[in-house]
Amino acid sequence: MDKKQLRKELKSLRNRLSKAEVAAKSASICQKITAGSIYRDAQVVMAYLAFGNEVNIDAVITDALQKGKTVCVPFITGPHTMQAVQLKTWADVAVGAYGIRTAAQDAPVITPQDIDLVLVPGLGFDLSGGRIGMGAGFYDRFLKDCRNAVKTGITYDILLREKIICDEHDEKIDFLITESQAAKCR
């Protein structure tokens, strides 16, 4: 199956989840994230602001802010580029294009090299660290510069695949967290 077909299949599976399923699975995933030593030891955490039926990690963001960690989220700067910007409080969140939550325009930029943990969304993952996203390559480009960060894929069990075919430019993840497991990849 090519990437286009796989994306369509995975999107369909994710979109079939009810709001109650998303909430329950997201809560379980957030608990696994915050209970882990990688998160506990991280001072700078890059999260994401979930859209649609993505795993909602707002509870992790709240926990990190309460613990005094530096929290950053993606901010789109061009057709295929993003940067990490600091989220100091929930008041810094704005609603951008297509109803997607984003950080305020004037939020401070965090350099990729300063990030300890990146929580990476995606349409599908495998246990070898393979990931398939929405297809624009935002995370692949960004993760290349996150040399010191532990890259952790966040997904639902139903979106795990035995093998995601990766291209040369695709960045692999180090860990994977679903509602049923937290696993080291590769």
- pLDDT of 57-69, one tens digit each? 999 999 999 999 9
Alpha helices in 47-179 (DSSP H): 58-66, 138-143
Tell me the whole-structure pTM to 2 decimals.
0.94
Mean pLDDT of the chain: 93
Which of 37-41, 67-71, 128-132, 150-154 is predicted least confidently?
128-132
Q: Can you give the pLDDT at residue 182? A: 96
- Average pLDDT rounded to a whole number, residues 54-83: 94
Q: How far is CA 179 from each of CA 25, 30, 132, rounded to the nearest angstrom?
A: 5, 9, 19
Q: Does CATH place domain 3-184 in 3.40.50.10420?
A: yes
Q: 3-class SS at 9?
A: helix
Of the candidates 114, 122, 109, the residue with the CA atom closest to the CA atom of residue 152? 122
Say whether pLDDT at 167 is over 80: no
Say whether pLDDT at 55 is over 90: yes
Helices (H) and strands (E) in the chain — how many of each? 5, 12
Of the candidates 26, 66, 60, 68, the residue with the CA atom closest to the CA atom of residue 44? 68
Give domain limits for the chain.
3-184
For residue 79, name the pLDDT band (cuts at 50, 70, 90). Answer: confident
